[in-house]
Amino acid sequence: MLHSLAYLGISSPAVDEWPTFATEVLGCMLAEPGPDGAVRLRVDDALWRIQIHPGEVDAVDYFGWAVTDEASLDELQGRLEAEGVEVHEGDAELAAARAVNRIRWFVDPWGYRHELIWGQIIRPSSFRPGRAISRFITGQQGLGHVVVGMPDLERAHDFFTRVLGFELSDKIITDKLEAHFYHVNGRHHSLALGRLPEGVVGFNHLMLQLEAIDDVGRGYDLCLERGVPISKVLGRHANDRMVSFYLTTPSAFNIEYGYGGVEIDEDWTPKTFDKSSIWGHTVHEDNPKPSPGIVRRLG
Ligand SMILES: [Fe+2]
């Protein structure tokens, strides 16, 4: 079954802005570039977790999902094929490019490529953050969470739960937002799905969780000092209780930079919330129309 979010691949014309931004603001470590000149970023001892490929437009290239064991690759492939989704075996070249032992991939009904991987390569005690932070919370909880939107939320719920095995954590339904949150490990959500208008899909943000609130506060100061667009000011979410703010990366998608999310336990019961945040998370006065992320028209 699925274990965690392993990595994220983006392509972007702003690839050259990433090394400075990611190390000095986010605290990532720069890894060796990919074979196509991609900027590869580390947040822990995995060889990379975020990869920005050179490209003409900002686009989501792939989401990487780690599976718990090699047999899960066959099981998930069987479930996907039963839904009419074609699953491709990744060759040795692709496995090497992703720094994993085994890989298969498919494209979901909304056009997003998902890679199912086992055996992400880890180099123990090799991570050094790009600025002074305590650490990123990864490990069993994976890279963080991703938030994707589509018009047919019910169909997406069915696909990601029944076929791929995501479990519902809770829902937030307000006058502006309808979103479902899903876990595959102790992290409150590794995936969230939000409803978008007809004909549109989008990748809104990647969440990175830091161990200390001072890591987040210092990151906030750095965004203000350097003019990095803040898309939501500091706040605390109602559902996962994450204290976070949102910034827009050089490649249109946002990063939620957070601290202190609750963890899923065996007694977890899904709930519905009518507010997304207990406090904060409003837009910043200098950035009244924040980026919706990497949005794409269907069809
Ligand atoms: Fe988030």
pLDDT tens-place string over residues 153-183: 999 999 999 999 999 999 999 999 999 999 9
Report d(CA 95, CA 157) in Å as an integer: 29
Token pair in block for residue 236: 């605390």
What is the 192 CA–ligand 1 centroid distance (Å)? Answer: 8
For a pLDDT cut of 90, what percent of the chain falls above it? 99
Kindly give the distance from the C-alpha atom of residue 181 to the centroid of ligand 1, in angstroms, as a whole number.
9
2-120 and 139-297, same CATH topology: yes
Q: Report the pLDDT value the prediction gives residue 126, as an integer from 0 to 100.
A: 98
Confidence class of residue 66 from pLDDT cuts 50, 70 and 90? very high
Q: Calculate how far, in angstroms, residue 256's C-alpha sits from the geometric centre of ligand 1.
A: 6
Strands of 96-199 (E only): list them. Answer: 100-107, 113-120, 145-150, 167-173, 178-183, 191-195
Q: What digits encode the pLDDT tens for the residues 222-260?
A: 999 999 999 999 999 999 999 999 999 999 999 999 999
pLDDT value of residue 299: 78
Tens-place pLDDT, residues 16-48: 999 999 999 999 999 999 989 999 999 999 999
Q: Which residues make up the environment of ion ligand 1, defined by Cβ < 5 Å?
A: 207, 256
pLDDT, tens digit (0-9, with 9 covering 90-100), for 134-156: 999 999 999 999 999 999 999 99
Q: Which fold has domain 139-297?
A: 2,3-Dihydroxybiphenyl 1,2-Dioxygenase; domain 1 (3.10.180)
Ligand 1 centroid to 78 CA: how many Å?
31
The pLDDT of residue 177: 95
**Nearest residue to 48 via CA among 29, 22, 61:** 29
Question: Residue ranges of the domains in the chain?
Answer: 2-120, 139-297
Calculate how far, in angstroms, residue 190's C-alpha sits from the geometric centre of ligand 1. Answer: 9
Gap from CA of 206 to ligand 1 centroid (Å): 7
Neighbours of 112 (CB within 10 A): 18
What is the 82 CA–ligand 1 centroid distance (Å)?
A: 31
Mean predicted lDDT score pLDDT of the chain: 97
CATH for the stretch 2-120 = 3.10.180.10
Q: How far is the CA of 81 from the centre of ligand 1 (A)?
A: 30
**205 pLDDT band (50/70/90 cuts)?**
very high
CB 44 within 8 A of CB 96: no
